[in-house]
Structure formats: C-alpha cells, structure tokens
Structure 1
Amino acid sequence: MAAPSPTPFSRLFNSSVDACPTSLKTATILGPKLKSGETEQAHLRLLTSFKHLKFKASKEPPGLTQQLDNRKLESLTESENGCDLFEDLKHRFLRFKRRKFKENLDHFQNLAQGQAPKFMIIACADSRVCPSIILGFQPGEAFMVRNVANLVPTFESGPSETNAALEFAVNSLKVENILVIGHSCCGGIRALMSMEDEVDSSSFIRSWVVVGKNARLITKSAASNLSFDQQCRHCEKGPEYKSVAKK
C-alpha cells in the first residue's frame, strides 16, 4: 500500500531551512537573483567591485576616499546584522519543531485534518500586542485576523479581508465567541483621530481607518474638552469610556 501523502503540517515542518551566512550576505548586496553555487563567484565580483571603487576614489581628495570606505563597512555590517536576524529565526523554527511540534505530534496531525476554534479574535497588527501571548491561545483554539487599529468595517463598506474572515469564521467554522482586542498607544487610532474630514485618497492608512469615522465623531463630541492624546485614549477604549471622559 502506498504511503499516505504528508499532511499540511508535516510538509511545513519537515521542510528544510537554508543556511544563512554567505548566501544571504551576497544576495543582500548583489540582488535577489543570485543562483545557488555562485557564492564564491559573487564574493569575487564583490571584492573586485570594492577594489575598483577604492581605485577611483583614490583620485579624489582623501576625505572622499574615507567616506566611501565607511559606506562600504556600513553596508557589510548591515548585511551581517540581517544575516544574524534570519539565523535567529531559523533557530527559533527548529526549536519549535523540536520542542513543540514533535512533542505534540498527534495534536498537530489532528489539526491538519481540520479546525474547530471556539474563538475568533480581531486584533491590531501592532507588533507589541500578540493575542496568543496575552490570552494564552494554543494552535487550533482561535481563528485570528489582525489589521491596523483592530477595525471591523460595516457591511455597507463593502468587501474587506476582515469581513471575509468574519464570514468564514461564523458560517464555516461556527465560532461561538468573537473578541475585538484593542490596545493603548495605537498608531491606527491616532491616524483616525488626526485625519481631516476629507480623506487623503493617496494614503492607504487613511483610506482604511476612515471606516472608523463614526467612532471618531462620537469621540470628538464626547471628549471635546480633552487633549488630543486623551481623545485618542478615549477612542481606543470605546463608548464605555464616555463616563470617564466627562469627569
């Protein structure tokens, strides 16, 4: 009998993670189209390029040569730092595979067959606010969508990723609970509160946060005596903050 085809999770977590150091450095400097096996040749082109650059610069005043050398060192440092970041991600992935995935293989194999989360979470895309960490969700417990300022557009606003996620969560996954998670110091809410009545159509952010214009109007009315920062705080908390604002 033929072996069963790998599940989506096994395909994901059995995939190889490429090593970073030399290939990433050269690809960062020379461009993304670098093919495998060209690392040494790429380094040769890189060194030749820098020698040529220094030769040309030597015809100029010493100050210019020093500036070019400094820029060269900065570029190499940035490339190495970028490499360190991806090397760290690689180790995080391998650590997850070793400590979480393999130790809970049955659970992940069950999840590969389907999901039945009890919660849908609509949260802000802010990197500082992770619902899984804050509420302790494990894989399979929460269907999650994140957007700027954790906004939910009205039906009349037309199709959006958030509305599509809501439709799928309610109609297909049959979630029992929907949570909208806001947070303080939200840049999206600040953009909403600072925008003019005429939305700048060239800004993707403003074109998105305008779906919260009613919240902005309510906040401006209820918290007109407060500073702008306090108004943003008021809007982040929602209507239940109205009584606090009037005190």
Structure 2
Amino acid sequence: MQQLIRGIHQFQTEDFRPLATLFEQLAERQSPETLFITCSDSRIDPNLLTRSRPGDLFILRNAGNIIPLAGGTTSGEVATIEYAVGALGVKDIIVCGHTHCGAMKGLLHPESLTELPAVAGWLEHAATTRRIVTDHYGHLPEDRKLVAAIEENVLVQLEHLRTLPVVASRLRRGDLHLHGWVYKIETGEVFAYDLETQAFVAIAEHAVNGDAEGARRRAATGI
C-alpha cells in the first residue's frame, strides 16, 4: 500500500502537471474512440500496451474478458458496453485475451473451482468456448489446448457482442468495428484476428481497420 501512496504523490508532482491542460478538458467531457474489453489480470495494462493517453480508451475488465449474451440478467458488462456505444459513440471495440489466462484454465478445468462458486458461475458465460475446445482441440497437449481456448474465447465473445441491440444497430449502420486481439505476456506481442486468413496474426501484419464482425462464424476449427 505504501508503494501505491508514493505512486500517487509521484503522479501528482511529475506526471499530472505536464498533462494539466488535457485533464482540464477531460473534466468537462470524455470522447474515447475505443472500448477496450480485456481480462482483470494484473499483468495487462491497456494504456501501456497501446501507448494511449487518458481519455483515449473506455476500458471494461473482468475475469476472462467475457460479454454476457443479450437477453439475460442485466450486468455491469452489458451496461458499460451500452453506454460506450450508445452514449459515447465509440467507433471500435477490442476484445483482448491474453496468454496464461487463469480464467480460461478454470473454464477448461471446472473441478478446480469448487471453492470459487461465483467464478465458476461467471465462466458459464463462456460455456460455448469450452464446448468448442472439447470438440475440436481435445487431442492437443494441455498448453496448446489453453492457447486454443484463449483465442476461441475472443471469437466467442465477439459473437456475444453482436447480440447486444445497441451494438447490432451500430454494426448495421457501418460506423462501428469489432476487433479480436490476444496479448502474449511473455513477449509483449499482440495478435489480431484476421478474417482473410482466419487466424490470429501479428498486429503489424493486420490491417488497422480490419473488421472482425462475424469472425466466429467464419473461423476455421484450427488455430
């Protein structure tokens, strides 16, 4: 805790002052162009990863970067997405998974969650991911099966996004784009889902405006 308190003092004296004008503007309104949905994992920092400034990203984080399907109980995730898309008018939504994801490990091994019933219940929003991995990747060794789950889950959650009315309407209008990313913690690399190759490719090779809408339906069964 003392480290965090020292960090606040350092932020106020060293970081805030050069950006004082920006923060004054942000105090009046925010207009982020991107909704960044990722895992709660402490090893991921969306702003550091994208070199973005305060006000650039509207960030939604939870265990497993999960988006509940439309029609269920109203959740904080759905409310956040609705606000970002309907009120703030973001132009892009990124769903970003990551390597070594504990949520995906738990999804593949629900028996490990007997003491975490709330986590187990939450991960049922990714039940489709588990079924896809079981049906198509069951022959793989454990480490590769986890990678498959991480990537497939990003695509499944993109599909879930498309079921939300506010997202579906903007996609129909053509002024909202969906993107699937996977962050590799150990190397700092980011891979984006590419519709043309139906695979995750290094972000440098992926068109910045590549639209991942409908990715799950067109995805191959292999990664």
Whether TM-score is above 0.5 comes out as yes
Are the aligned partners of 2:39 and 2:96 in contact in 1 as well (CA < 8 Å)?
Answer: yes
Inter-partner Cα distance in structure 1 for 2:75 and 2:84: 14
Inter-partner Cα distance in structure 2 for 1:168 and 1:206: 27
The alpha carbon displacement at 1:145 in A equals: 0.9
Partner residue of 1:78? Answer: none
Amino acid at match of 1:129: I
Inter-partner Cα distance in structure 1 for 2:98 and 2:33: 22
Amino acid at match of 1:222: H
1:1-247 matched pairs, under 5 angstroms:
86-195=1-110, 203-238=117-152, 245=222
Amino acid at match of 1:139: P
Amino acid at match of 2:110: M
Inter-partner Cα distance in structure 1 for 2:55 and 2:78: 21
Inter-partner Cα distance in structure 2 for 1:155 and 1:244: 25
Inter-partner Cα distance in structure 1 for 2:33 and 2:58: 8
Amino acid at match of 1:186: C
Q: Which runs of 4+ in 1 moved over 3 A?
A: 199-202, 239-246
Are the aligned partners of 1:125 and 1:150 in contact in 2 as well (CA < 8 Å)?
Answer: yes
Inter-partner Cα distance in structure 2 for 1:204 and 1:165: 21
Q: TM-score, normalised by structure 1?
A: 0.59
Secondary structure at the counterpart of residue 157 of structure 1: coil
Q: TM-score, normalised by structure 2?
A: 0.66
Amino acid at match of 2:101: C
The structure carrying a bigger strand percent of its residues is: 2
Secondary structure at the counterpart of residue 64 of structure 2: helix
Structure 1 or 2, whichever has the larger Rg, is: 1
CA RMSD of aligned residues (A): 2.2
Are the aligned partners of 1:121 and 1:180 in contact in 2 as well (CA < 8 Å)?
Answer: yes
Amino acid at match of 1:153: P
Inter-partner Cα distance in structure 2 for 1:223 and 1:150: 21
Inter-partner Cα distance in structure 2 for 1:195 and 1:111: 43
Secondary structure at the counterpart of residue 93 of structure 1: helix
Are the aligned partners of 2:136 and 2:221 in contact in 1 as well (CA < 8 Å)?
Answer: no
Inter-partner Cα distance in structure 1 for 2:56 and 2:84: 12
Inter-partner Cα distance in structure 2 for 1:244 and 1:213: 17
Inter-partner Cα distance in structure 2 for 1:194 and 1:202: 12
Are the aligned partners of 1:200 and 1:207 in contact in 2 as well (CA < 8 Å)?
Answer: no
Structure 2, gaps ≥5 residues long: 156-197, 200-218
Secondary structure at the counterpart of residue 155 of structure 1: coil
The count of residues paired between Structure 1 and Structure 2 equals 159
Partner residue of 2:194? Answer: none
The alpha carbon displacement at 1:201 in A equals: 10
Are the aligned partners of 1:151 and 1:211 in contact in 2 as well (CA < 8 Å)?
Answer: yes
Higher deviation after alignment, 224-233 or 126-135 = 224-233
Partner residue of 1:52? Answer: none
Are the aligned partners of 2:107 and 2:130 in contact in 1 as well (CA < 8 Å)?
Answer: yes
RCO comparison, higher one (Cα < 8 Å, 6+)? 2
Structure 1 residues 90 and 200, CA gap change in structure 2 (3 angstroms): closer
The structure carrying a bigger helix percent of its residues is: 1
Partner residue of 1:41? Answer: none
Structure 1, gaps ≥5 residues long: 1-85
Are the aligned partners of 1:220 and 1:231 in contact in 2 as well (CA < 8 Å)?
Answer: no
